[in-house]
Structure 1
């Protein structure tokens, strides 16, 4: 819910279950999702009609005071107007009673949010990429989704069914005992339910307010630096000198043979053709379902592996330091794009962000331009260049020979102390960050040497960067990890 704040001691958490609807229930689910899409398209057309009318009047020389007024796009205004026209508009008059009111409210709420995002983006009040004006949703391409906020929304007592407004009781593909036990115990309250069709299967996601006590991490005083990569998914080095390697499972590469075979089978069948109106054959639908099943399994395996990795990290260490990777730019490398996408770098950072709040774990993001791989973890010397094919770091100053990823992880772990000491290499959440180019930016690393504080040893990771020379002072001011 937009603007909803949970009670003290509670958090908002989603419980997602796969559904096994029968033929009638699946038709009703598709009808509700189609109603949401139709309401969205109506709202877009109703609001933008005043825009085009004003543009035409301006071209005719109509004074500004006499122009047609702007139509509001707030959710209450859209609901009020839709309730007036739904009984008379030929697009809704014959079938709007077949679906729950929540289906139409879903489309209107999405349209209102889309117009808000467009207006804020145009006025410079919204971060991220520039957003265009809302457009109509295609019947063939739109994602089937519908949200319920009122009515009968519950998890049935048998643990294998859920009940939704107008849809009735639907069997779940998996047991719902985890959510059912919390609801019965009074530690969870269902706020809303969203049904969605993904990868050939229907899912229901319950947004709940859950009472969750903070579970302290196993090693609260330990700092860990995580260096992500393609050959090895993650190399973790903590402040005690322990280095742990997590292999890259490469689920997509392992399923590539099956995907190619299934894709050839789909291409040899008679598929749909929008130009001629040709409908797909039964064999094409069967082959396409098999291809979707393989993609679904790969996505589930990837999500499971990333959940296990991030959960283990946030339950073990008190402070986690990761890199601020420019994943969108990395995907432009056509030689590594497939493996980078399969690794899920962005998803790892997102999950570390919200899971850290459950355990009181602090997560820091190093500056994007911090040369973690080029800096020696022993003496602090920085190489000007370090090609990607060199997997072993050899320091020219002190002679340290160490794995490239392990060296980067040790440097990331050492950055955590600067968030407290304020030496300029790291900073707190409110530290001002310089504005950098969103695409194609490049910042070269100049050879320098970093002074170190006294510590127990070179490989232990406890020696922390303190102060750099004047020639790189302008660069180090931007190397403050951001607290999520």
Structure 2
């Protein structure tokens, strides 16, 4: 499906509401229809793929092989409309958007597989799509038809599903739609931990206004993320890490032991699958809800921090952490996953554009922890167990995380006072290295601004000038 491009002055964001459906079976039916369409069309394409491989093994020429069936979304829709009467005679019970959800997911999966195979797609290698089982996440997306928030602001209206009550008021979205500053593009209904949610993709008109000077606590703030503390600021403030998963470890163990004593889908005696009991399903739902609670606590902590930083500071400087590489250390993997440090950059990308601030990302190899924030002398070695930074040149003694945050803040020497919104590309912050510093001094590199709601334009390197700390 073609990606929506927001016009100048508009941005795309999500409004997510928990649902209290009276007819939950209808939601399950639509999600099952999406899965059925995905699996059926994938089965046909897999059969063609297997036939071509068999023919090639017998020496059949490439031109004489069984032709591929088109796997673009229009081709899949055309084939499905031709086959839906015999293979799914119940198709009228569901909205056409349910089947389109599965076909769109299959088209994107096949496109990723083809791009990865040809080398056009970066990242890990993508394999051939796999069939979705009944235990897969239930989801259905609506892009056409009646999609709106009801007048009472306690119900949402979706095609074929009708009015569904929300667990909370949807007035935030309703007010924007009524004022003409928001337009609903699509709605996605998903099931998570036994609860149903409706996420609206909305184009929102935003006017970026810099907060009053009295609300700003400082021009530049450096942020050093960690495990013991969620973040350490250059002001010396240390934000505690709630560590929700670590705090709930005993509850997780109890929930898993409870599920292990019940009849699950696998029989260890016969090594065969079996029908799980309802008690086992309830135990799995309880464990899933516990995971959802942990994720909510973690997300709330990050949202509070990133919103405060974007509102109170003109410029935010953070380091470019290779979180996936750090998680290879088995002693830190669980603590890193519990802290989710990559969330800071992801949230600041769009919040800085909302609140009129700027995000800089230091180079991944910038030695912020080994550099003295007073004299800029770089220590050759600094083990992870050394929590206090001692400078042999000037005698500075400081917490290593506070020292790193101060070095990050000192990278930015010149801050432009224009409105934010300047980015090199339309998505995310992009790293642009600058010329290295003289030998023996700390080297700093910087990232461009994050995307914002206003116009996107190129920026010269002189606008974001970095240097070593004075």
Shorter chain as denominator, the TM-score bin is: 0.7 to 0.9
Q: 2:436 and 2:64 mapped to 1: Cα distance?
A: 66
2:95 to 87, 95, 100: 100
Any residues of structure 2 matched to 1:178-257 within 5 Å, and which?
178-217=172-211, 218-219=215-216, 222-237=219-234, 242-257=235-250
Partner residue of 2:468? none
> Residues 402-457 of structure 1: CA distance to partner in whole angstroms, max 9, x if unpaired?
1110000011111223899xxxxxxx9776669xxxxxxxxxxxxxxxxxxxxxxx
Describe the superposition over 1:219-238 as per-residue Cα deviations: whole angstroms up to 9, x where unpaired. Answer: 3971111001111111111x
TM-superposed deviation, 1:377: 0.6
Task: Let me know the Cα RMSD of the aligned residues.
Answer: 2.5
Q: Give the conservation status (yes or no) of the 8 Å contact 2:363–2:431.
A: no
Counterpart of 1:61 (choices 47, 59, 68) is 59
- In the other structure, the counterpart of 1:259 is 252
Stretch of structure 1 that moved more, 276-285 or 189-198 = 276-285
* Native 8 Å contact 2:232 2:401 kept in 1: yes
Worse-matched range after superposition: 362-371 or 404-413: 362-371
Deviations 1:269-311 (A, max 9, x none): 3333275443333433333333333222221111111111111
Query: Residues 57 and 29 from structure 1, CA distance in 2 versus in 1: closer, same or farther, beyond 3 angstroms?
Result: same
Q: Of the candidates 302, 314, 318, which is equivalent to residue 310 of structure 2?
A: 314
Unaligned runs of 5+ in 1: 421-427, 435-464
| 1:28 and 2:22 are equivalent in the alignment | no
Q: Equivalent of 1:144, from 138, 144, 147?
A: 138
Q: Does residue 1:51 correspond to 2:49, yes or no?
A: yes
1:280 aligned counterpart, secondary structure: coil
Distance 2:304 2:274 in 1: 45
Change (3 A) 1:276 1:245: same
Partner of 2:460: none
Selected match of 1:281 from 268, 277, 285 = 277
Kindly indicate whether the alpha-carbon contact (under 8 Å) linking 1:21 and 1:170 is maintained by their aligned counterparts in 2. Answer: yes
- 1:316-358 Cα shifts (integer Å, max 9, x gaps): 1122111111111222222222221111101121111121221
Aligned to 1:457: none
Please say if residues 306 and 347 of structure 2, whose CA atoms lie closer than 8 Å, have aligned partners that are also in contact: yes
Counterpart residue number, 1:130: 125
The answer for the alignment partner of 1:298 in structure 2 is 294
- Distance of aligned partners of 1:136 and 1:246 in 2 relative to their CA distance in 1, 3 Å threshold: same
Residue in 2 that maps onto 1:16:
16
Conserved 8 A contact 1:220-1:319: no
1:413-424 superposed matches below 5 A: 413-417=409-413
CA deviations over 1:54-76 (Å, ceiling 9, x no partner): 33333333333333323221111
Unaligned runs of 5+ in 2: 417-423, 451-470
C-alpha displacement of 1:106: 0.7
Q: Does the aligned pair in 1 maintain the 2:377–2:441 contact within 8 Å?
A: no
- Given that 2:139 and 2:188 are in contact with CA atoms closer than 8 Å, whether structure 1 keeps it comes out as yes
Count residues with an aligned counterpart. Answer: 433
**Could you tell me whether the CA contact under 8 Å between 1:419 and 1:481 is conserved in 2?**
no
Aligned equivalent of 2:456: none
**Cα 1:122–1:63, aligned 2, differ >3 Å: closer, same or farther?**
closer
Q: Decide whether aligned partners of structure 1 residues 467 and 415 sit closer, same or farther in structure 2, where only a CA change above 3 A counts.
A: same
1:467 is the counterpart of 2:437: yes
Report the 3-state secondary structure (helix = DSSP H, G, I; strand = E; otherwise coil) of the residue aligned with 1:86: helix
| Residues 202 and 80 (structure 1), Cα distance of their counterparts in 2 relative to 1, 3 Å cut | same
After superposition, the Cα gap between the structure-2 partners of 1:130 and 1:283, relative to the gap in structure 1 and judged at 3 Å, is: closer
Secondary structure of 2:120's aligned partner: coil
Q: Which residue of 2 aligns with 1:446?
A: none
Distance 2:163 2:130 in 1: 34
Larger mean Cα displacement after TM superposition, 353-362 or 213-222: 213-222
CA displacement at 1:118 relative to structure 2: 1.6
Once residues 256 and 215 of structure 1 are traced to their aligned partners in structure 2, the CA distance between those partners, rounded to angstroms, is 44
Q: Distance in 1 between matches of 2:318 and 2:226?
A: 12
